[in-house]
Amino acid sequence: MISKVYISHSEEDEALALELSSALWRVGLESYVTMYRVARGISRSDRVSFAIRSSDCLVALLTAQGTLSKTVNQEIGMARGIDHLIFPILEEGSSLPFLIENMSPIAFAKETYPDAIYHLIRTLRELSRLDWLKVSCPKCGEEMTQYLTPQEEVDHALSKRSCLETICTYCQNNISLDPRTFSPMP
C-alpha cells in the first residue's frame, strides 16, 4: 500500500513538484518534496536518504532540467537500489535517464501537466486504497475531509470536460473541483 511518495525534482522544477505534492495531499498521500530547504543539524544528503527510504515509491519529475540534474539521477539510483517503485513523469522533448530508460513514463507538456498528475493519481489509486479527499474551501478557508470521488465518476467528468462538484460542510458553499488534480476551481 502506498501512503508516502518521494518527489524527485530539480531545483528549477520546485513549483511543479509543489503542485504535484498538493494534489497528492488532497487524495491523502504524504509526499517528500522541497529538499532544497535547510534543516539544522541534518545534512541535505541525510534528509534525502531518509525521505527516500521512508517513502513507498519515487516519482521522478523529469523536465529538461530534471533529466540533467545529478541529484535527480542519484535519487533515482538510490530508489532503484532499494527496489522502490519509480513513476517517471517525463516532459516532452526530454529523455529518460539510463537507470529507468526501459520504463513507460507519464508524458506531459507544460500546458498538460495537470493531465500527468491525473494519470499518476489514477495509477496510485489502482495500486493503493485511497479513500479520502481533503478540500480547502476557497470561500471560508476551512479544510474538510470527505470520501474520494469514485474513479468512474472522475473519468466521466473528464470525458464530459466538466468539474466534480461538492459542498463545503462549514459554509455550504458549492465547490467545483478539477477532476485531474482535485483542486478547487474559481
CA distances (Å), origin 56, targets 10, 87, 114, 127, 166: 20, 11, 22, 11, 30
Q: Check: CB of residue 68 under 8 Å from CB of residue 16.
A: no
For residues 76 and 136, membership in a common domain is answered with: no
In tens digits, the chain (186 residues) has pLDDT values of 999 999 999 999 999 999 999 999 999 999 998 655 666 788 888 989 999 999 999 999 999 999 999 999 999 999 999 999 999 999 999 999 999 999 999 999 999 999 999 999 999 999 999 999 999 999 999 999 999 999 999 999 999 999 999 999 999 999 999 999 999 998
Residue 19 sits in a domain whose CATH number is 3.40.50.10140
CA distances from 31 to 26, 38, 59, 179 (A): 11, 17, 10, 20
User: Which residue, among 131, 128, 156, has the nearest Cα to 146 in the 3D structure?
Assistant: 131
- Number of compact structural domains in the chain: 2
- Tell me: do 78 and 104 sit in the same domain: yes
Domain co-membership, 102 together with 147 = no
The whole domain housing 173 covers: 132-177
